[in-house]
Amino acid sequence: MTKLIIQIPCYNEEATLGMTLAELPRQIPGIDQVEWLIVNDGSSDRTVEVALANGVDHVVSFARNQGLAHAFMAGLEACLKAGADIIVNTDADNQYCAADIPRLVEPILQGEADIVVGARPIRQIKHFSPIKKLLQGFGSWVVRLASKTNVVDAPSGFRAISREAALRLNVFNEYTYTLETIIQAGRQGMAIKSVPIRTNGYLRPSRLVKSIPSYVKRSLLTILRISMTYKPLRFFAVLGSIPFSMGFLLGVRWLVLFFLENGTRSRAPSLILAAILILIGFQLWMFGLVADLMAVNRKVLEDIQLRLRRAELNSNQKER
């Protein structure tokens, strides 16, 4: 029997949650059982009451607001414990068209993907400003490079995740999960696919994107951090090559001038700067080597965590 659980992270969503839940399906082709779960991320309004009144099967609550990334991961954990074979994540503001959920889960049912990300028609969304549309496209392109995947709409929160993929995912960033999970999944060799989906009307401003500059800064920091985590040697090798190359070229320039002028001018400042730059580059390379060795321990810990998660889930299933 295949069980699908639709999870919705919520923070003060009483105004839109009822509308979102009303459109969620209870029957999907290829799925035997569909359940709903919300993660109440420290809401101070009637979010939980609205959810229960509309037939939500599971509620996970935080005493205080923990942020979208924590809510997403808590939802995955709760869905796995509830026996989900496939997890669909959507937003509480009814941004995504729930009728496209069958399209979202189809590649997983067919064994073609571990994670499926819904690609919004960005250019057709009227409330997105031209600069936001441009940045969405640029951000997705950067994530494709970092993750080595073909994800069209990286910031999209409308996605389906197989049980195996959910077991392997970890989110370190406290801001959002969207970019990090794609890069992480791509680095771990998971199959990721994009499918076109529709969006509904605009109901409220995004709580995640409070300002374009802030979102861009946070997104870039997330990409850099994940790159350092999963490819530390390459990251620091590239970073260290910049000052090392500058120092090397400056040193060559010093040597050329020294011999052309027969040592009449010492040009000590140039020589000192060249030495400093070369030393900085070398130190960054050493950081990369140490980080790469530490990454081996991280991989071992991830394998241990995966085995523990599987053992816990198998234990829960036997108890049932």
Tell me: do 299 and 200 sit in the same domain. no
Does residue 206 or residue 252 have the better pLDDT? 252
Tally of domains within the chain: 2
Tell me: do 293 and 240 sit in the same domain. yes
Tell me: do 120 and 23 sit in the same domain. yes
pLDDT at 260: 80
CA distance 121 to 124: 5
pLDDT digits 0-9 by tens, 28-57: 999 999 999 999 999 999 999 999 999 999
Among the candidates 228, 257, 280, a domain finishes at: 228
pLDDT digits 0-9 by tens, 219-270: 777 777 777 777 788 889 999 999 999 999 999 988 888 888 776 666 788 8
Tell me: do 160 and 254 sit in the same domain. no
Domain range for 74: 3-228
How crowded is the C-beta side of 295, counted as CA atoms within 13 Å? 17
pLDDT at 284: 94
Tell me: do 76 and 154 sit in the same domain. yes
> Domain with 207 in it: what CATH number?
3.90.550.10
Contacts of 291 (CB under 8 A, 6+ apart): 228, 232, 233, 236
Among the candidates 184, 209, 228, a domain finishes at: 228
Tell me: do 50 and 168 sit in the same domain. yes
* Sign of the alpha-carbon dihedral angle for 181, 184, 187, 190: negative
pLDDT at 4: 96
Among the candidates 194, 211, 228, a domain finishes at: 228
pLDDT digits 0-9 by tens, 276-296: 999 999 999 999 999 888 877
pLDDT at 255: 86
- Average pLDDT on 119-134 reads 75
